[in-house]
Each structure stands twice: as C-alpha cells, then as structure tokens.
Amino acid sequence: MKFDYDLFVIGGGSGGVRAARIAASEYGARVGLAEESRMGGTCVIRGCVPKKLMIFASQAGAAAAESRGYGWQGAGEGRFDWAEFHGKLLRELDRLEGAYTSGLVNAGVEVHMQRARLHDAHTVELADGQRLSAKHILIAVGGRPQRPDIPGKELGLISDDLFTLDRLPGRVLVVGGGFIACEFATILQGLGSATVLAYRGDAVLRGFDAEMRRHATEQLRAIGVDVRLGTNPARLDREGAGVRVTFEDGGSEIFDAVMFATGRAPYTKGLGLEEAGVRLGRRGEIAVDEWSQSSVPSIYAVGDVTDRVNLTPVAIREGHSFADTIFGARPRKVDHRLVASAVYTRPHEVATIGLTEEEAEACGPADIYVASFRPMRSLFAGSDARAVMKLVVDGETDKVLGCHIFGPEAGEMIQMIAIPLGMGATKADFDAAIAVHPTLAEELVTMRKPSRRVGAAKMDKPAASA
C-alpha cells in the first residue's frame, strides 16, 4: 500500500518535533506533522522556558537586595514593570516558535497548523476534513492542566494563563503543592503579588525526599509565601472584581485571582484513539511498551501523553529513540528508572535523582550522608538560608542510590551527578574525586561519615525453583 507519509506526527511539542526532524533529516523519511496551537508545545510556549525566565525575573529583586550586603548602595530601589517584561517574554516565545517551525521545514517536514485526529490505524483526519495516510503514526500531544472538580472551578486560572496575564494580581491563591505550584508561588511572590499557597498535604513536593520537602516548605514561607498546609478550597464564587474562595474548613477569603496547579492529565480526549483500537490507561494515557508502541502496531506515542516520566528531556529522548528505531535501524529504548529533575524555587532550588531516603529504607540497609551549611555567598550578605546535600548509599554494595540537593543552582549540579549515578558509581568513587574549592558542589565529595543508617538487612532471595 502506498502512503502519503512514512510518518505522521500529531503534536508539535518537544517529543514530536524531535521525532519528526530526526526521521526526516537523518533518515530521509517522508514526514508530516500537525499542531493545533503553537509550535514548541507546553515546554517552549507555556511551560519550562517562560517559567524559567519568570523565575529569573523574580530573583532579580532579591539579588539586588543581596548586593547591598556587598557594599553596593542604592541597589534594588526600583520597581518591577510587568508590562515591559511580559512584552519581551512574548517576543522571545515568538522567536522560539519560529525557530522550531523553521527547523522542521528545513528538515523537509510538511507542517499542518491545525488539529488532527485518528481516522484509523494508518489515517489521520485534519480539522479541515483532509485525510492523510501514513505507514506510522506518532501521538505526541502531551498533557493539559486540570482543575479540581469543585463548584466555580471555571473562575480559577490554570498554569497556562499565567503567561498571558495583562497585569499581575495583587493577591493570589495558588492551589497545589507540586512542581508547578511551588514554582509559580515563588514567581508571583517574587514579582510582588501577595501569595497564599493552599495544599492539602503536610509538606509540598509529594514524592520527593522528606528532608527536601521540609526545606522547600520552609523556604516558601521564608520568602513571604503564606503556606497553608492541610488546606483545600471547596468552592469559588465571583464577588465584585475578585473571587471568594470557601475552604473545606468553612472559612472564606477574597482573592484577586486563584490559580490551580493541581496536576495535569494526558490530552487524549477527542483524538479517535478508542475508535482506532488504541488502549488507554486509567488516567486516559496511551498505554505503550518499552518501544513506545501502542496496542495498534502502526501507532506509537511519546511524552506526557503516555504518563511515564513527564519531563521535557524524557519526551525528547523518547522521540529520538523512536526515530532511530523505526527509521534508522538503530533500535533504542529509553531507561526511565534514573531520571534527574529540578524544581526552580528561590533562592534555593530542589534537585533530585534516584531513591529517596524513605524508598531506600524500605529496600534494605542504606547509609545516609548529609551536609547542611550556610553558603558562602548568601552568608556574607547576611542570610540565614541553609543548603543541604544528601547522598543515599547502599549499605552493602556502597553504590550511590540517590542524590538530593537543596541549594543555589541545584539543577546544574544534579545534571552532572546524573552521569556517575547512571554509570553505577559508588560512594568510594565520589570520595576519590578531589574537591573544587570553594564551591557548593564540593560538599558532594567531602562527606566521609554517614549521618545515619536506615533500613533493615535485606532479606535473602528465595531459591529459584527447580
């Protein structure tokens, strides 16, 4: 059968763009791609990139204040101009979108700027009614923010909306305690909004190492965020120009804006997946195997739509591996077991890879190495903020099982730590490295004695049956 394309990609985010570009430019495949919104997807247009730029903006005022501790007079006496910053931000996003689009076109990919859905296992239907056939179809539509199912939920903003605000709210409620909630609370407070963060748990960043969670929670409070744990909104009502929030405990307050950061879900609704026979998981994610192949052999999926590890670099690696496997005769799987990540709070970031202390404790004996200290730069300027470095080490093999960092530029450090951990480094390997002084990262190679040992002895493995 002759197809219009060798590959058709639905979704112009990081994973889909990488797969399309590699398949076309490196392997000569005939590739089409459809994107219903803006090229670049969540990360480039309404996620990682604008968020990080806003984090930089939110840090600038504190950096100016810190400079006074180093003798600079009159620093930090200006005010933040949202309109000026926002205009520059939008221009940068336009530039990036253009770069993504031109990269695809130059690679030979035919771009369709409209929504696409499956018609059958080898056919996609565009919003204009046109049907196109492909030997292989890749779904890379990502995920979308979700609002909690409470009365008045439509009055709340989602994370996408933060990048389109005409002006910053004077007083804002951020609902949630994950990556996005912590980062956006940091941004809004840093840019001048009086910020309340309401989270139903007992510390932010559920799933992270408990020690890192505690420090992240305390830091949000230290920078001025009103953190309310064990708190959840029950309903939202419009009141004048604001929103009245009634909480589950019966109390209520008025905010200029409410932002929900209560999770994301795979964006699979209306794609024709079930009709085409594609099996979905409990949350609507596309169920795939280790090769990113769905239950329909010609249909694959990468990125957040599969709900495996929902991070941009993972989607990129999955998309590249798909192209290498299908079009390059270079079979490659993605190992999702050891992936580093970072939360860009301020002044200290939270970065992590591998097992938490709690996970290690459940597996068997583990030695926990911890260094807690006041960094030189902020200490000299008069800050009491502490940084924390933590290694989780197998008590029997000496292999480093996890690393957790709470400190300035923690994300930069964890990227380098991901390399030795991926190679199976031991604590002795870390000890053998000579420190670079004076740096924050030197603490990772100078911790000689464990702070504590956790976990019982590992149980003997049962003998294999004859």
Query: Which parts are annotated binding residues for FAD?
Result: 52, 304
Which residue, chain included where needed, has tokens 């260094």?
Answer: 371
Contacts of 330 (CB under 8 A, 6+ apart): 324
Which residue, chain included where needed, has tokens 């890879």?
Answer: 353
Element (H, E) at 385: none
- Residues marked as binding for NAD(+)? 176-183, 263
**Six token digits for residue 2:** 């002759």
Alpha-carbon gap, residue 387 to 189, rounded angstroms: 21
Dihedral (C-alpha) 237, 239, 241, 247: value to the nearest 10 degrees?
A: -50
CB 167 within 8 A of CB 80: no
DSSP string, 255-284: ESEEEE-S-EEE--TTS-HHHHT--B-TTS
257-260 vs 157-158, strand pairing mode:
parallel
Element (H, E) at 379: helix 376-380
Q: Name the catalytic one among 122, 136, 348, 437.
A: 437
Closest CA to 387 of 453, 439, 452: 439
Is 437 an annotated catalytic residue? yes
Dihedral (C-alpha) 262, 264, 269, 273: value to the nearest 10 degrees?
A: -150
Contacts of 368 (CB under 8 A, 6+ apart): 357, 360, 390, 391, 392, 393, 450, 451, 452, 453, 454
CA distances from 327 to 27, 29, 306, 340, 380 (A): 6, 7, 21, 28, 56
Burial of 32 (0-12, 13-18, 19+ CB in 10 A): buried
Catalytic residues, which ones? 437
